Structure formats: C-alpha cells, structure tokens
C-alpha cells in the first residue's frame, strides 16, 4: 500500500501522524488475511508468523466476515432491522455491513465506529450509502459509550430497533476495564426488538496453538488482546434472547453452504441475541 493513505479532507497530515508503521496492527493484519492491500510489511510479517504458530488462524477472518453477512441478512430479512451500529469496523473490505443491509433494504442506516486512523482514512473515502439510506462514521473508542451514543443518535433513531454489531472488538477490552459493563451499557440504550451481534476469539484446551499465537501478538503487536472461554463470551448475551444455535464457531452459525469447510470449527465464536 502507499505510505500516505487516501483521505477526502484536510485531516490527512494528522491521520498520518497517528499511523504507526513500525509496529503491526490488528486491523491491518486482518485486512492482509482477507486478501486486502491496506497493510504494511510489518503487518504481513507478523501475520505470517502468527499463521506459522496457528496455521488455521487466517480462516478466522474469513469465518468472521461470512458470519457478519449471514447475521445482517437475518436481521434485515427476518427481524426487520433497518438500523445498525457497527463498532470496531475494521478496514473496509467486501460486503461491509452497509453493503449487505442496503442491498436488501436500501433505506437502512448504518453508523460505523472505530478509533484506528487508517480505518478512518479509508472509511471516509469508501463507506458510501444508497440515496434512500445513510452511512456515517465515528472516530471513537468502544469504551466511550456516552460519546458513541450521542453521536450515533444523529443518524439512528434510538426509539426504533437497532442492531449492535461488535465483531472481534471486545477482545481489546481487558478484564480490568469492565468489558461486560461496556456491552451492557450499549445494549441498555437500545429499545426492545434490538439485537446484539458479537464475536470473540476464544481460548480452548483443544486449540493450544491459538494461545501461542495470542501470546506472540501481545508481545509484538498492538492493541493487546484478552482471550476468553466460550462460556465467558456467552456472558455478553446475559439478559437477552440468544438465538439458535447459540454462541458457536462463527463458521457454524447458520451456515448457508453445504461445503464442509464452511462448518469447520475456528476459534472465533459468535452469536446473535434479541432484546425483549
């Protein structure tokens, strides 16, 4: 990629100052695993090393992306959701939330939230909208719940159901930062009929190489990760109606293909739940 990411306004210089190209970053490695070009050599080197420690880890990105598409299609077609608050957006790739939602319901409104400067640079250029709907972007941290809700309310109507999407982002909130409280405060602000879509890298005795990969990352990359067990991930849905099949490998959440590869378990678990 170019050393100067594209922007559409006068903030290019300040964004470049915030982009650290000397240390690998999760959003850029994720982009690399998905076959994107928005990454640096340091990210590719770290991504390759992580893949050597855990050869299947690159599939997490694909499984998580497919899970997002299936969840959004369910929310639009079966739950009637037309508003989405996607926190931890990551670098834009194919079939982003607004593309899937507005393809089915052009009037859908989406607010993306991320605090990565490279994501911000590309989001402003690439995250467009249908004429009937709207797509906005907020440069904010997941932990700053009040700021997120205040700014998102300018685009979303919080008296109507909203889908809160937290894919692979709560892993960056440490246990000492009250991750369950952060998610609960966001959910509490949403009306009945809203949904929570959440995915999280897990730790499991059957996948010890995942722990090695996470250890390597926390020693060399940023931001740091906090793994949790499947049971701990399920706790994020407490008080909500967890939809079938529950919290499972993202590849096994209502797969649409008969291809066995799509159903192969990965250490990225996810679920969808409704607020009643």
What CA–CA distance (Å, rounded) separates 159 from 217? 41
Q: What is the CA radius of gyration of the chain?
A: 18
The beta strand positions in 42-98, using DSSP E, are: 83-87
What CA–CA distance (Å, rounded) separates 183 from 166? 9
Instruction: State the average pLDDT over residues 76-104.
Output: 91
Instruction: State the average pLDDT over residues 156-185.
Output: 96
Q: Which pLDDT value is given to residue 5? A: 40
Query: Is 144's pLDDT higher than 80?
Result: yes
pLDDT digits (tens, 9 = 90+) for 116-129: 777 777 776 667 88
Query: Is 59's pLDDT higher than 80?
Result: no
Phi-psi map region of 111: left, alpha, beta (phi>0 left; psi -120 to 50 alpha): beta
Per-residue CA distances from 90 to 62, 87, 215 (Å): 13, 9, 22
Q: Which pLDDT value is given to residue 228? A: 95
Residue 47 and residue 25 in contact, taking contact as beta carbons nearer than 8 Å: no
Domain boundaries, given as residue ranges, for the chain? 65-205+228-275
Q: Which pLDDT value is given to residue 8? A: 40
Angle between the N-to-C axes of helices 97-104 and 58-77, in degrees from 0 to 180, rounded to the nearest 10: 30
For the chain, what is the largest distance between any 2 Cα atoms, rounded to a whole number of angstroms? 50
pLDDT digits (tens, 9 = 90+) for 23-38: 777 778 877 877 777 7
pTM of structure: 0.84
Residue with tokens 């695993």: 33
Of 80, 99, 90, 56, give the one whose Cα is nearest residue 250: 56
Query: Is 162's pLDDT higher than 90?
Result: yes
Q: Which pLDDT value is given to residue 43? A: 87
pLDDT digits (tens, 9 = 90+) for 182-241: 999 999 999 999 999 999 989 877 777 778 878 887 887 777 889 999 999 999 999 999
Locate 248 and state its tokens: 């499972």
Q: Which pLDDT value is given to residue 58? A: 66
Count helices and strands in the chain by DSSP H and E runs: 10, 8
Angle between the N-to-C axes of helices 145-152 and 179-188, in degrees from 0 to 180, rounded to the nearest 10: 30
Q: Which pLDDT value is given to residue 17? A: 61
Of 35, 92, 41, give the one whose Cα is nearest residue 68: 92
pLDDT digits (tens, 9 = 90+) for 94-123: 788 999 999 999 999 999 998 877 777 777
Angle between the N-to-C axes of helices 117-126 and 26-33, in degrees from 0 to 180, rounded to the nearest 10: 50
- For the domain spanning 65-205+228-275, the CATH number is 3.40.50.150
Residue 70 and residue 253 in contact, taking contact as beta carbons nearer than 8 Å: yes
Q: Using DSSP, state whether 233 is helix, strand or coil.
A: helix
Share of the chain above pLDDT 70, in %: 88
Of 124, 228, 171, give the one whose Cα is nearest residue 26: 171
Q: Which pLDDT value is given to residue 11? A: 44
Beta-bridge partner residues of 222 = 25
- 17 Cβ neighbours under 8 A, 6+ residues apart: none
Of 35, 89, 71, give the one whose Cα is nearest residue 252: 71
Rounded to the nearest 5°, which phi and psi values hold at 153?
-65, -15
Of 87, 256, 247, give the one whose Cα is nearest residue 163: 87
pLDDT digits (tens, 9 = 90+) for 256-276: 865 555 578 888 899 999 999
């Amino acid at each position: 990629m170019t050393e100067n990411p594209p922007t559409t306004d006068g903030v290019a210089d300040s964004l470049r100052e915030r982009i650290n190209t000397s240390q690998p970053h999760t959003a850029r490695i994720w982009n690399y695993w998905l076959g994107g070009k928005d990454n640096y050599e340091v990210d590719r080197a770290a991504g390759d090393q992580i893949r050597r420690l855990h050869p299947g880890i690159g599939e997490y990105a694909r499984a998580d992306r497919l899970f997002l598409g299936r969840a959004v299609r369910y929310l639009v077609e079966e739950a009637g959701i037309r508003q989405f608050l996607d926190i931890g957006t990551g670098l834009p790739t194919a079939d982003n939330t607004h593309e899937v939602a507005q393809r089915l319901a052009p009037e859908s409104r989406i607010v993306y939230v991320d605090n990565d400067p490279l994501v911000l640079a590309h989001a402003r250029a690439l995250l467009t909208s249908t004429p009937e709907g709207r797509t906005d972007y907020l440069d904010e941290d997941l932990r700053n719940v009040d700021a997120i809700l205040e700014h998102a309310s300018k685009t979303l109507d919080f008296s109507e159901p909203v889908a809160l999407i937290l894919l692979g982002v709560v892993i960056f909130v440490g246990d000492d930062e009250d991750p369950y409280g952060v998610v609960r405060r966001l959910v509490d602000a949403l009306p009945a009929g809203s949904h929570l879509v959440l995915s999280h890298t897990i730790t499991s005795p059957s996948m010890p190489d995942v722990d090695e990969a996470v250890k390597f990352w926390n020693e060399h990359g940023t931001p740091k990760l906090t793994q949790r067990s499947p049971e701990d991930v399920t706790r994020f849905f407490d008080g909500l109606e967890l939809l079938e099949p529950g919290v499972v490998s993202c590849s096994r959440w209502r797969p649409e293909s008969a291809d066995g590869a799509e159903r192969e378990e990965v250490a990225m678990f996810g679920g969808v739940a409704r607020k009643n």
